[in-house]
A and B are shown apart, each in its own frame.
Chain A
Amino acid sequence: MKDFKAQIRKRKRWDAIFALCGLVALMIGVLTFVALFLDMAIDGAGRLSWEFFTNFPSRRPGQAGILSAWVGSTLVMLTTAFFAVPLGVATGVYLEEYAAKNWITDVIEINITNLAGVPSIVYGLLALGLFVYQFGLGQSILTAGLTLALLILPVVIVATREAIRSIPQAIREGSYALGATQWQTVRYHILPYSSAGILTGVIIGMARAIGETAPIITIGALTFIAFLPPAPVQAEPPFLSFDWLMSPFTVMPIQMFNWTSRPEAAFHANAAAAGFVLVIMTLAMNGLAIWLRYRLRRNIKW
């Protein structure tokens, strides 16, 4: 009996040692983030006001705001989602449900995974050559949206495939056994049951895209912009306008980059405030992803 106790105590010591190591590793990450975030929040807190969101950038730091930046970021994100979601979801569904399982599919799969690791500046250079010059889309919101859509496409595809793979084969067999076609099985089962996972992937991709700076600078976004793109909704017919797609723009990270490169300390406070807003936007998107996943999965069990 006594032997056991001594031996257990000895073995349990390693439990405690590992738990401590794990805790230290966790805290290094968490505390670093908290410190950075708090530092930024404190630096920028003085600048956060209603005017900060409704003012255009200005030569006077006290009057400068992020109106053109957050509107630009929002419009670019909408464009990105518009292109990345249908393309990515259709690709993922095709690869999982339709494509023959052969070496060509394997090669495509490996390449998609690799694309997720390509540096974003490379996407920027591709977009500069293809969208800006070849297609003549200019330095516009459309170009930026397409570029970021390409950037997050691998993320959306991989998330879609993983969500689809988690659907039990018994569900597919149940559907086919009742005489359903492949499309009916996709439409009534595969897409609804994988939507939570797909949405999570899309939002994580978007959260990455909203912070991207390099490819947006490469395609020539402006760093100082004191006007808004044309409004998408208009008073006279046809009421909807897509002129904003071709408008020059700036985005949040570029606005921050611009402010940090100025010598005046007051602009650095502006950059910190904008950074704080950007982090909150990203956290909000991730929060939305978690909430949507919870909502959509609540009714799906197998």
Chain B
Amino acid sequence: MSAPETHMSEMLVTKAESRKLSFYYGDFRALKDITMPVHERKVTALIGPSGCGKSTFLRCFNRMHDLYPGNRYEGEIVLQPDNTNLLASGVDPIEVRMRIGMVFQKPNPFPKTVFENVAYGLRVRGEGSRRRLEEKVETALQDAALWNEVKDRLHQPAYNLSGGQQQRLCIARALATDPELLLFDEPTSALDPIATASIEELMHDLKERVTILIVTHNMQQAARVSDFTAYMYLGDLIEFGVTDELFIKPKMKQTEDYITGRFG
């Protein structure tokens, strides 16, 4: 067990780092001084009981909270290699979202065609060349392991796809713009076990080229897909570590209680 870990830690590069991050919904402090890294080309899972702040934390990374009034960040999320603090007031949330993609809990394809869904991110960036759009859409669909299933119905409405296909379409949509970091907010909680397995397999392939941060309420899933895991509780980061270690030998009693099912 220890051999691959040391091997792993040798080549770790930090993609993003949260530094003393606190987040407020109005007066309510939903996150408390969270400091943890997200390693490049690894899958980092956020686990914890409902209301622990894991989704809130995830949505700080692409400034999703900026869409709603009364939300406030404190601290930093630094994105590498350019050392940009994503939360700095001078950083436009649109720029952040152009670098960091997101896949939501419930598949949310736009009520447009398969093609237009995947092309959307490129279109908002002003890509007008039909040929380049077609190339990018095909690549993204292939990367999302969906190309073979949809190549003959690119111009049909996306809602004709099954739930699992819709979620892979949303992944393709996020991949089409080559994000540096991909956020997954409980991406399989609305899917059946077979669709879930295909998404997990896809995540495993994707981490070759993109850093992944995933929120999951399912501990088995965290254990299956992630390299690192963070356990959160009531807005605090309780423990962060290599997934195998955290699940087999947690350092904190609270983590142990949660993963053994004694709590939560």
A residues near B, CB below 8 A? 100-101, 168, 170-181, 184, 188-189, 193, 299-302
Residues of B within 8 A of A300 (CB): 111
Q: What string of 1s and 0s marks CB contacts (under 8 Å) between B73-108 and chain A?
A: 000000000000000000000110110011010101
What separation, in Å, do the CA atoms of A124 and B3 have in the docked complex? 86
Answer whether A301 and B159 are a contact pair too, CB < 8 Å, given A168-B108, A174-B170: yes
Answer whether A176 and B110 are a contact pair too, CB < 8 Å, given A181-B94, A188-B120: no
Q: Please give the number of chain B residues whose Cβ is less than 8 angstroms from any Cβ of chain A in the complex.
A: 27
Answer whether A176 and B64 are a contact pair too, CB < 8 Å, given A100-B69, A181-B124: yes
Residues of A within 8 A of B121 (CB): 178-179
10 new A-B contacts at CB < 8 Å, known A171-B110, A178-B121 = A171-B111, A173-B67, A174-B109, A176-B97, A178-B101, A179-B121, A179-B177, A299-B157, A300-B111, A301-B159
The answer, among B95, B102, B109, B159, for a CB contact under 8 Å with A177, is B102
Is B262 among interface residues, defined by CB-CB distance under 8 A? no
Answer whether A174 and B110 are a contact pair too, CB < 8 Å, given A179-B125, A301-B159: yes
Residue on B nearest A302 in the bound complex, by CB: B111
The answer, among A100, A171, A180, A193, for a CB contact under 8 Å with B108, is A171
The answer to whether A170 touches B111, judged by C-beta atoms less than 8 angstroms apart, is no
Residue on B nearest A297 in the bound complex, by CB: B111
Can you list 6 A-B contacts (CB < 8 A)?
A173-B104, A173-B108, A174-B104, A176-B67, A177-B104, A180-B94
The answer to whether B159 touches A178, judged by C-beta atoms less than 8 angstroms apart, is no
Interface residue ranges of B202-249 to A (CB < 8 Å): none
What separation, in Å, do the CA atoms of A195 and B50 have in the docked complex? 38
Residues of B within 8 A of A188 (CB): 110, 120, 123-124
What separation, in Å, do the CA atoms of A177 and B100 have in the docked complex? 8
**Cβ distance A187 to chain B, nearest Cβ, rounded Å:** 10
The answer to whether B64 touches A177, judged by C-beta atoms less than 8 angstroms apart, is yes
Is B173 among interface residues, defined by CB-CB distance under 8 A? yes
Residues of A within 8 A of B110 (CB): 171, 174-175, 188-189
Is B174 among interface residues, defined by CB-CB distance under 8 A? yes
The answer to whether B111 touches A179, judged by C-beta atoms less than 8 angstroms apart, is no
Residues of B within 8 A of A174 (CB): 104, 108-110, 170, 173
Residues of B within 8 A of A180 (CB): 94, 120, 124
The answer to whether A177 touches B124, judged by C-beta atoms less than 8 angstroms apart, is no
Is B18 among interface residues, defined by CB-CB distance under 8 A? no
What separation, in Å, do the CA atoms of A101 and B71 have in the docked complex? 14
Q: What string of 1s and 0s marks CB contacts (under 8 Å) between B139-159 and chain A?
A: 000000000000000000101
The answer to whether B177 touches A301, judged by C-beta atoms less than 8 angstroms apart, is no
The answer to whether A178 touches B104, judged by C-beta atoms less than 8 angstroms apart, is no
The answer to whether A184 touches B124, judged by C-beta atoms less than 8 angstroms apart, is yes
**Cβ distance A164 to chain B, nearest Cβ, rounded Å:** 14
What separation, in Å, do the CA atoms of A168 and B121 have in the docked complex? 19
The answer to whether B97 touches A177, judged by C-beta atoms less than 8 angstroms apart, is yes
What separation, in Å, do the CA atoms of A180 and B101 have in the docked complex? 12
**Cβ distance A197 to chain B, nearest Cβ, rounded Å:** 14
Residue on A nearest B116 in the bound complex, by CB: A188
The answer to whether B64 touches A193, judged by C-beta atoms less than 8 angstroms apart, is no
Residue on B nearest A179 in the bound complex, by CB: B98
Residues of B within 8 A of A168 (CB): 108
The answer, among A175, A176, A178, A302, for a CB contact under 8 Å with B177, is A178
**Cβ distance A102 to chain B, nearest Cβ, rounded Å:** 9
Residues of B within 8 A of A178 (CB): 97, 101, 120-121, 124, 173-174, 177
The answer, among A101, A173, A176, A179, for a CB contact under 8 Å with B69, is A101
What separation, in Å, do the CA atoms of A176 and B177 have in the docked complex? 13
What separation, in Å, do the CA atoms of A40 and B161 have in the docked complex? 53
